[in-house]
Amino acid sequence: MKIAIPDVISNSYFPAEAAVELGFFREQGLDVTIDMIYPVDAAYRALRDGKVDFVAGSAHSALSAFPRWDGVKLICAQAQGMYWFLVMHADLCAARGDVTAVKGRRIGAAPWVDMGLRRLLAAAGIDLVRDAVTIAPVPGAIGDRVNFGLTAAKALEDRKIDGFWANGMGAEVAVRRGVGTVVLDVRRGDGPKGCFDYTMASIAATERLIETSPEAAAAAVRAIVKAQAALKQDVTRAAAVGRRLFPPAEAELIVELVRRDLPYYDASISQGFVAGMNRFTCDVGLLDAPAPYAKIVATQLQDLWRA
């Protein structure tokens, strides 16, 4: 079986990577390999077309290939909360929490990921036209094997963009190189009210797989839960995964990045989260009305989230 991940050299989808590389899928009887497919909408199209069996990606992005949630379900969370960072070039001396730093600036963001930033800025009173904010793909982020966070950090360093909206690895690399300043970290309280629940890192499968192979869907949830628990028990296990999947420099960073994320490692998908994501997806035009909880979530698997 295959699990599509849109950004491998990252902490964003690390529970899925750990579940593969530390053998938790195998313990559950599933032979799962990672298939990197960028951007996230391409990963969901691969799921729709039967090229992969699971997607480890942003929850709201399932709507890119499954309008109105028809044919897809979220089976568990990898971690809670919208997990991207707004990083501006250090020369701009932007203060933490100051969203006005984007005015007149070029911000790099991946397709579908950018929706979270656009809605957040609107909620904070930023008008992209009036305030001359450009949000666009990062130069060089082309092809289906792009690790977006690292590409964004390099583009910031080269002054091809003024800031980016990307994962914790990209943010950490930019900060350590002295070229970036973290302005927003939504998971840890920055941004307007409600933006935490715009999306989350989830695991998705087709309704077809859940109905015809319920044991495989259940095994996938158990594997993620076990990976989360193992990393909480001993976060240094992340190092082995990093050495297998990341370049040496980024492998050295992953243990600390995962350590910061551990408080958000919870496989549950709450009613409150779905309500928040529904508001977001309606606000950005992905839905014309909120979808029922059971339409979005594989409720038959929820007893496994805290196993």
pLDDT at 149: 85
Name the token pair of 135.
Answer: 């949000």
**Structure confidence by residue, pLDDT tens digits, 105-139:** 999 999 999 999 999 999 999 999 999 999 999 88
The rounded distance, in Å, linking the Cα atoms of 240 and 38 is: 24
Claim to verify: residue 294 and residue 218 sit in the same structural domain: yes
Inter-CA distances, 97 with 86, 94, 191, 293, Å:
9, 9, 7, 32
Count of the separate structural domains present in the chain: 2
CATH number, residue 174: 3.40.190.10
In which residue are the tokens 């890192």 written? 201
Claim to verify: residue 226 and residue 242 sit in the same structural domain: yes
Claim to verify: residue 90 and residue 72 sit in the same structural domain: no
Q: Among 196, 212, 229, which residue terminates a domain?
A: 196
Claim to verify: residue 165 and residue 28 sit in the same structural domain: no
**Structure confidence by residue, pLDDT tens digits, 212-244:** 999 999 999 999 999 999 999 999 999 999 999
Give the range of the structural domain holding residue 53, as residue numbers without chain letter.
2-81+199-304
Inter-CA distances, 257 with 90, 169, 241, 252, Å:
21, 7, 13, 10
pLDDT at 140: 74
Claim to verify: residue 14 and residue 159 sit in the same structural domain: no
Q: How many CB atoms lie within 10 A of CB 3?
A: 28
pLDDT at 142: 61
Q: Among 163, 196, 229, which residue terminates a domain?
A: 196
Claim to verify: residue 74 and residue 203 sit in the same structural domain: yes
pLDDT at 145: 61
Name the token pair of 206.
Answer: 């087709």
pTM summary value: 0.95
Claim to verify: residue 131 and residue 164 sit in the same structural domain: yes
Cβ atoms of residues 125 and 193 within 8 Å:
no
Claim to verify: residue 90 and residue 185 sit in the same structural domain: yes
Positive or negative torsion for Cα 99, 105, 107, 112: positive
Claim to verify: residue 94 and residue 164 sit in the same structural domain: yes
226 CB-near residues (< 8 Å, 6+ apart): 19, 24, 27, 28
Nearest C-alpha neighbor of 249 from the set 170, 143, 196, 142? 170
User: What residues of the chain score a pLDDT lower than 70?
Assistant: 141-146, 307
Claim to verify: residue 22 and residue 58 sit in the same structural domain: yes
Cα three-residue angle 36-40-44, rounded to 5 degrees? 90
Q: Among 177, 196, 215, which residue terminates a domain?
A: 196
Claim to verify: residue 204 and residue 275 sit in the same structural domain: yes
Claim to verify: residue 228 and residue 92 sit in the same structural domain: no
